Structure 1
């Protein structure tokens, strides 16, 4: 995965997941008994479903019902015990994790995976170009924790990545580890997921500066001010 490929993938996954989140959250509002009435606060701020210009207004005086897909039907049947014929219940909505929590959580795990993929790919290209494939210092690079990898980068390149980069990379790694290893640990805010995404891209920009020749891309150049501002927050390892 090269630099531009990383950014295309990072942007597309984030945009797609957040579109899914808005669609799902808007639907959750439609079938909730808590949101009845056109003056209900649920309809003051998006996401929500509304009719197009000139169309008939959607009634807010009743909740709606979701007809589920064949795939979800199969999942419900598998999870239902004991199995029986006929309709299966989804259960109370409070038993499901809301879209605005589960999707930001998934997005964070995906963004870290993409960042590590880019990190490993870029370092492998650097090893080949510098003919240090057999150097003992770089053995099993992709199996090492973040701090050790950054130490190796500084040692073999002779360049400093900076304390802010160290702290930022360790911070994003810590949150991903919590989400993947701690039971029921979730990202409770979509804005946290966006902050995380921008931080990952800022880290990638520094890795590229140290390990490769940054491509001439006007769109990425526009983001430089965001990345610089983002990394300056990490005077220490932080919690998102």
Structure 2
């Protein structure tokens, strides 16, 4: 398997794994969200969501479900509130409020999309290094004249977005649609650099 085929395999595994994890997480989010209760709720008109096997009874959606959290989640809450993994926080009413960032009602969307976008760049970077192609802003500027402007523009855009998500504390919020589009841009760039000795001079975006 050559470097490009290996790149395609790794990048495909990464994005498909991320979208599947998102589907599972978002499906669970809907089931525990009171705003999604009711069989005719718009939340169930578009995936992802859990559905019964063909012929099996419908999953009840009249009321929200509760989730029994993992040992890891409990430890994270404990450490963040009490400084000890083994000591749980307390409150007068027994409820610990976790004010966590979300995107359109989803905590999974922004975090999974952010992580897979960064991972996609790292997979692409590894391939580009193997063929001595530019992997950062400084190198891309040195490639002006070698790289078709449309290719250079796309490369600089994915570098800039990766840098935002990696280095900024509060970057513009990402989502899974953007992550899949980012993957599409990465694999297009990899194809361009792989196919042309002159860094994409024969290629333009369709």
Q: TM-score range by the shorter chain?
A: 0.7 to 0.9
Structure 1 runs of 4+ with >4 Å offset: 86-90, 141-144
* 2:170 equivalent in structure 1: 184
- Unaligned 5+ residue runs, structure 1? 125-140, 155-159, 213-227, 233-240
SS of the counterpart of 2:73?
A: helix
Residue deviations 1:83-108 (CA, integer Å, cap 9, x gap): 4744776634x514421222111111
5 Å-filtered alignment, 1:141-160, equals 145-148=138-141, 150=143, 160=146
Distance 1:147 1:31, change over 3 A: same
5 Å-filtered alignment, 1:13-92, equals 13-81=14-82, 83=84, 85-86=87-88, 91-92=97-98
Offset of residue 35 of structure 1: 1.2
TM-score by length of 2: 0.81
Q: Please, what is the CA RMSD of the aligned residues?
A: 2.7
SS of the counterpart of 1:67?
A: coil
Alpha-carbon separation, structure 2, partners of 1:39 and 1:56: 16
SS of the counterpart of 1:61?
A: coil
* Match 2:192 to one of 206, 209, 219: 206
SS of the counterpart of 1:179?
A: helix
Alpha-carbon separation, structure 2, partners of 1:163 and 1:6: 24
5 Å-filtered alignment, 1:86-101, equals 86=88, 91-92=97-98, 95-97=100-102, 98-101=107-110
CA contact under 8 A between 1:104 and 1:187: conserved in structure 2? no
Alpha-carbon separation, structure 1, partners of 2:132 and 2:164: 26
Q: Which has the higher helix share?
A: 1
SS of the counterpart of 1:95?
A: coil
